[in-house]
């Protein structure tokens, strides 16, 4: 795999770790609130994140 992939993965892990590390109680509440959502809503959030992430990665690359 390319170095770009590993750099993006590393950045994603750093960004994902910020919430729990800096605001553990707010992060925990967010996860509790999210767990109360219907699966359809969670899937839609995930799909939007995938599309936006893919678009942003494509824009940065080009």
- What pLDDT does 27 receive? 95
Given the structure tokens 């910020």, which residue do they identify? 18
- What pLDDT does 61 receive? 79
Indicate if the pLDDT at residue 1 is higher than 80: no
Q: Total structural domains in the chain?
A: 1
- What pLDDT does 5 receive? 84
List alpha helices for 1-62, DSSP H: 3-22, 24-35, 39-61
- What pLDDT does 24 receive? 96
SS3 2: coil
Provide the residue range defining the domain that includes 16: 3-61
* 27-62 tens-digit pLDDT: 999 999 999 999 999 999 999 999 998 898 888 878
* 14-27 tens-digit pLDDT: 999 999 999 999 99
């Amino acid at each position: 795999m390319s170095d770009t992939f590993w750099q993006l993965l590393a950045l994603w892990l750093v960004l994902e770790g910020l919430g729990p590390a800096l605001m553990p109680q707010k992060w925990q509440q967010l996860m509790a609130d999210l767990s109360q959502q219907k699966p359809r809503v969670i899937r839609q959030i995930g799909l939007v994140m995938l599309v936006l992430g893919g678009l942003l990665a494509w824009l940065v690359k080009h």
